[in-house]
Amino acid sequence: MSVVSDTIDWFSDSTHWSGDDGVPHRLVQHLGYTSLTIAIAAAVAIPIGLWIGHTGRLRGLAVVSSGALRALPTLGVLTYASLYTGIGIKAAIFTLVLLAIPPLLAGAYAGLESVDRQTIDAARSIGMTEWQILTKVEVPLALPLIVGGFRSSTLQVVATATVAAYIPGPGGLGRYLIDGLALRDYPQVVAGSVVVIVLALVLDGIFVLLQRLALRNRPAPVRSTV
Amino acid sequence: MIEYRSIGKTFADGTEAVGDFSLVLPSRTTTVFVGSSGCGKTTLLRMVNRMIEPSRGQVLIDDVDIATRNKVELRRSIGYVMQHSGLLPHRKVIDNVATVLRLNGVDKSEARDRSYAVLETVGLDASLATKYPSQLSGGQQQRVGVARGLVSDPNILLMDEPFGAVDPIVREELQAELLRLQRELDKTIVFVTHDIDEAFLLGDQVVILKKGGEVAQVGSPAEILATPADDFVRSFVGLDKGHRKLHVEDRDGSRIVVDATGKAAGVLTE
């Protein structure tokens, strides 16, 4: 039988839809890792990115360090982190956070940089405080690019979170891939990939809608995309 | 009253924008800083609301050194109109105008009412209030900019080449509108332009600047035309060209004012 029909059989097997190893449970785990990662990464990257964008300081450092972060080999970092945190989900989350930071950081500072200097100057000269300039002018105008940062960050993490299963213990959708490869159960591997792909596409679709929403107050043509 | 006392400004890169500048701007009059680019006119204007801090000297408003005042409070008490309207692109016209009042702690519905009123004052239809700035023409945007500068009824209005980017016909309209407003409102206006005709039209006191904020001449338009201080002023105001040298010629019983190039400028009615 072909892999395709085997995979369809895998999906139609009701035992794959319930219990700790079932698709719903793994999917929820996977989304849990992803949201935790994005939340931690955003808590770090967004304030720094907004500060860099608002003040224009340390921009070079941000560019270089996000470049370096992007270049890190995920599996290597994961193995290395495991040595410190022990076998478990912590190492995986740490690795994914490193991966999630650069796009978020870039979205935030590039977003703020894209705001017209004259608009900011005007806001300051009518008597807005720096905080008001940031929250009422810069962030609203930068929102499409900031959401764009979340979009690419989330997609990268959703795809890469499969490596969490590389170390024993954590679950997520990566389980199907790693375990399937170990058992040479290829229908399971393909099925796992399909679920990850569908999840990524659905999330991307949601972000497209969010970006549209962020642009709703803009009747004029707007400069866009990172 | 605004007073500059021995003001100097050297920027961080070493450029000296203003050397040593002192001047009194009387209340309820329009003072126009006019000069070519690089003469420091915008720098001088922006010192009044501390958008630029002088390197030396003091700026006083009603005898208080503004360096002792909170920057944000100071800016909220002064109207500011700039060349490219400077409107917030993500807010509707009415909200752009109301923002200034909201910053000053005026409650929402009062801010709205006053903003509608001031839009009417500057000659904008209420139907434009709910549009976004990008949906307006350049001239309309400038009117909104003026409305925003006036809405909190400040004593001082700073205008940085406010009509520089609109076409000549709209510019004339806006200039006439400003003269009308000033007759009604009696603000202390500081106006920056590179256009000497605009300076003479709007200014009670005209300050002609050379490079580095050096004053070439201060006076009313008539004083400057009557007794230009030097060749720089004579050339700047156009006295060395033909169109300011007017004489009267009799044509068919009418007395026609003609400039040195022979072009008819108007009719003498007295």
Percent of chain A predicted with pLDDT > 90: 43
Query: CA torsion sign, A83 to A85 to A87 to A92?
Result: negative
In sequence order, what are the residues at sequence separation of 6 or more whose Cβ sits closer than 8 angstroms to the Cβ of residue B111? B98, B101, B102
Work out the pLDDT band at B265, boundaries 50, 70, 90: confident
Predicted local distance difference test score (pLDDT) of residue A25:
83
In sequence order, what are the residues at sequence separation of 6 or more whose Cβ sits closer than 8 angstroms to the Cβ of residue A25? A19, A171
Q: Which 3 state secondary structure label does DSSP give A214?
A: helix
Nearest CA to CA, how far is B219 from chain A (Å)? 29
Q: Are residues B116 and B93 in the same domain?
A: yes
Q: Are residues B33 and B132 in the same domain?
A: yes
Q: Is B103 close to A128, i.e. CB distance below 8 A? A: yes
Work out the pLDDT band at A11, boundaries 50, 70, 90: confident
H or E stretch covering A133: none
C-alpha A89/C-alpha B110 separation (Å) is 56
Strands (E), chain B: 2-10, 16-25, 30-34, 56-61, 64-65, 78-81, 156-160, 188-193, 205-209, 215-219, 246-251, 254-259, 264-267
Name every chain A residue with its beta carbon within 8 A of the beta carbon of B85.
Answer: 122
Is the predicted pLDDT of residue A172 greater than 50, yes or no?
Answer: yes
Is the predicted pLDDT of residue A77 greater than 60, yes or no?
Answer: yes
Mean pLDDT, range A199-207, rounded to an integer: 93
Residue A87 token pair: 């076998």
Percent of chain A predicted with pLDDT > 70: 94
Q: Are residues B39 and B66 in the same domain?
A: yes
Could you tell me which residues of chain A have a Cβ less than 8 Å from any Cβ in chain B?
A: 116, 118-119, 121-129, 132, 137, 140-141, 217-220
The radius of gyration of chain B's CA atoms, rounded to the nearest angstrom, is 20
User: A161-175, A176-190, A200-214, B48-62: which range is least confident on average?
Assistant: A161-175
H, E, C per residue of A102-128: HHHHHHHHHHHHCCCHHHHHHHHHCCC
ipTM for the assembly = 0.86
C-alpha B267/C-alpha B270 separation (Å) is 9
Q: Is B76 close to A127, i.e. CB distance below 8 A? A: yes
Is the predicted pLDDT of residue B217 greater than 70, yes or no?
Answer: yes
Q: Which of residues 137-176 of B touch A (CB under 8 A)?
A: 148
Q: Are residues B236 and B253 in the same domain?
A: no
Q: How does pLDDT run across B171-205, given as a tens digit for each residue?
A: 998 899 899 989 988 999 999 999 999 999 999 99
Q: Which of residues 74-103 of B touch A (CB under 8 A)?
A: 74-77, 80, 82, 84-91, 99-100, 103
Is the predicted pLDDT of residue A223 greater than 60, yes or no?
Answer: no
Q: Are B33 and B46 in contact, with CB atoms under 8 Å apart?
A: no
Residue B258 phi/psi, 5° resolution?
-125, 140
Q: Are residues B126 and B198 in the same domain?
A: yes
Q: Are residues B52 and B170 in the same domain?
A: yes
Whether the model pTM is above 0.80? yes
Name every chain B residue with its beta carbon within 8 A of the beta carbon of A124.
Answer: 51, 75
Q: Are residues B33 and B68 in the same domain?
A: yes
The CATH number of the domain covering residues in A3-214:
1.10.3720.10
- Best residue in B84, B85, B88, B102 to probe A by mutation, most A CBs within 10 Å? B88
Residue B255 DSSP class:
E
Predicted local distance difference test score (pLDDT) of residue A225:
38
Mean pLDDT, range A130-146, rounded to an integer: 94
Is the predicted pLDDT of residue B64 greater than 90, yes or no?
Answer: yes
Residue A37 token pair: 């990662």
* Type of residue numbered B57: G
Name every chain B residue with its beta carbon within 8 A of the beta carbon of A129.
Answer: 72
Predicted local distance difference test score (pLDDT) of residue B116:
95
Kindly give the pairing relationship between strand B205-209 and strand B188-193. unpaired
Nearest CA to CA, how far is A115 from chain B (Å)? 10
Range(s) of the domain holding residue B257: 242-270
Predicted local distance difference test score (pLDDT) of residue A224:
38
Mean pLDDT, range B75-101, rounded to an integer: 92
C-alpha B75/C-alpha A129 separation (Å) is 10
Q: Are residues B195 and B234 in the same domain?
A: yes
Work out the pLDDT band at A222, boundaries 50, 70, 90: very low
Mean pLDDT, range A202-207, rounded to an integer: 93
The number of angstroms, rounded, from the C-alpha of B52 to the middle of its chain's C-alpha atoms is 17
Q: Residue with structure tokens 């994914």?
A: A96
- Number of domains observed in the structure of chain B: 2
Domain harbouring B221, CATH code: 3.40.50.300
Q: Judge whether B72 is closer than 8 Å to chain A, CB to CB.
A: yes
Nearest CA to CA, how far is A202 from chain B (Å)? 29
Please state, as a whole number, how many other Cβ atoms lie within 10 Å of the Cβ of residue B38. 15
- Best residue in A112, A125, A138 to probe B by mutation, most B CBs within 10 Å? A125
Is the predicted pLDDT of residue A169 greater than 70, yes or no?
Answer: no
Predicted local distance difference test score (pLDDT) of residue A217:
62
Q: Are residues B228 and B99 in the same domain?
A: yes
Mean pLDDT, chain B, rounded, equals 91
Q: Are residues B102 and B81 in the same domain?
A: yes
The domain limits of chain A are: 3-214
Percent of chain B predicted with pLDDT > 70: 100
